[in-house]
Amino acid sequence: MSLAVHFPGETLPPLEEDEKKNTTFKVGPGLTHILPSTLIVNRAGELNIDQRKHTIWMESNGKRYVASQNDTIIATVLRSTSDSYICAIPSSNSPVSSTSQAVLPHLAFPQATKKTRPMLHQGSVVFARISLANKHIDPELECYDADSGKAEGFGELKGGFVFGVSLGMARRLLGDAKKTRLLRVKQRRAEAERRGEEYQDAGADMSSGKEVLEELGQNLSFELAVGRNGRVWVHSGDPKTTLCVMRCIQQSEFLTGKEQRQLAKEALKALGQ
């Protein structure tokens, strides 16, 4: 598989002019923007350009999460103050104590008033959305859907089991790889056209990276929540099932789609399903 890797310090060639003039690109993580229009890579990885959404960013795996707006994350409650909960945003493999802190206001729950608010205790796990992220201040969290104002799955995650995966794996489990795959195929087709060749799908990039979940989901019943901070919450009636799901997800980090299905099948057999 040919992978075009960019290294920190590289200056990117100017972006291609869109048919619609004056479109503004959103510059994502891994790139430094120098005015007026120079982009410099600051993190080794693969360059992604979405011409339709006008976004450009570096794709690379990591283990340390840095808060960014509208990300859905799994956080841990540290303590409560008079009007908000102080939460920790753990990363893939970090203990809660060494992580960045965030503020979750008592009123940032669906239909919460001063008298009726969910009681969260130290150590509670919440699924929340980052409503404010700025490098100079602590991030703020919200536990309701921004559009509908309803819970939509946000809030305390009761029971279950939390474990860590790499940030790239977490994004894959959320289905990001499927979206970027189309992007890459399109990019490659455009490149082939520019060279005057016929584009041939070499069969690379066929996996979404979450085949393991699809396979497990067909045979076991469990609840799953994935946070972009590299935390995964699993809940099922039976500890054996929970651990099986955890082991399979953690082991499929560096496996291809086919290998992931194989792994899941073997694990299910061992579980007696």
Partner 1 sequence: MADGSAQYTDGPTTLLASINGPIEVKPRDEIPLEAFLEITIRPSAGVTSVREKHLEALLRSAVSPLIIRTINPRTLFQITLQIIQHEQVSAAHALHTLLASAIVVVVLALVDAGVPMKGMLAAAFVEGADGSAAHVFGYAITGGGGREGGGPKEGLVFVESDGVFDEKGFVEASEVGRKKCLEVGELMKGWVREKIGRDMKYRLK
Site size toward partner 1 (CB under 8 A) is: 51
Q: CB count, 10 Å around CB of 146? A: 10
Q: Is 36 in the site for partner 1 (CB under 8 A)?
A: no
User: What tokens appear for 96 in the block?
Assistant: 């809660």
User: CA 233 to CA 249: how far, in whole Å?
Assistant: 11
Of the two residues 51 and 60, which places its CB atom closer to partner 1 in the complex?
A: 60
Candidate list 123, 203, 239, 272; residue touching partner 1; CB under 8 A: 203
User: CA 44 to CA 60: how far, in whole Å?
Assistant: 7
Q: Is 43 in the site for partner 1 (CB under 8 A)?
A: yes
Of the two residues 18 and 214, which places its CB atom closer to partner 1 in the complex?
A: 214
Q: Is 209 in the site for partner 1 (CB under 8 A)?
A: yes
Of the two residues 35 and 119, which places its CB atom closer to partner 1 in the complex?
A: 35
Residue-wise DSSP of 150-171: S-TT-EE--SSEEEE--HHHHH
Interacting span for partner 1 (CB under 8 A) from 55-63, 73-81, 185-193, 264-272: 55-63
User: CA 52 to CA 18: how far, in whole Å?
Assistant: 10
Give the DSSP H/E element, type plus range, for residue 6: strand 5-6
Q: Which residues contact 227 (CB under 8 A, 6 or more apart)?
A: 72, 73, 74, 75, 127, 170, 233
Name which of 214, 220, 201 is nearest 268 in CA terms.
220
User: What tokens appear for 73 in the block?
Assistant: 């994350």
Pairing, β 161-164 against β 137-142: unpaired
Give the DSSP H/E element, type plus range, for residue 258: helix 257-271
Within 213-242, the residues that bind partner 1 by CB under 8 A are none
Interacting span for partner 1 (CB under 8 A) from 18-26, 90-98, 141-149, 153-161: 90-98
Within 157-186, the residues that bind partner 1 by CB under 8 A are 168, 172, 177, 181
User: CA 226 to CA 165: how far, in whole Å?
Assistant: 10
Of the two residues 48 and 51, which places its CB atom closer to partner 1 in the complex?
A: 48
Candidate list 15, 40, 183, 185; residue touching partner 1; CB under 8 A: 40
Candidate list 76, 94, 124, 131; residue touching partner 1; CB under 8 A: 94
Residues that bind partner 1 (CB under 8 A): 1, 3, 5, 7-11, 30, 32, 34, 38, 40, 42-46, 60-64, 66, 91, 93-94, 98-101, 135-136, 168, 172, 177, 181, 203-207, 209, 252-258, 260
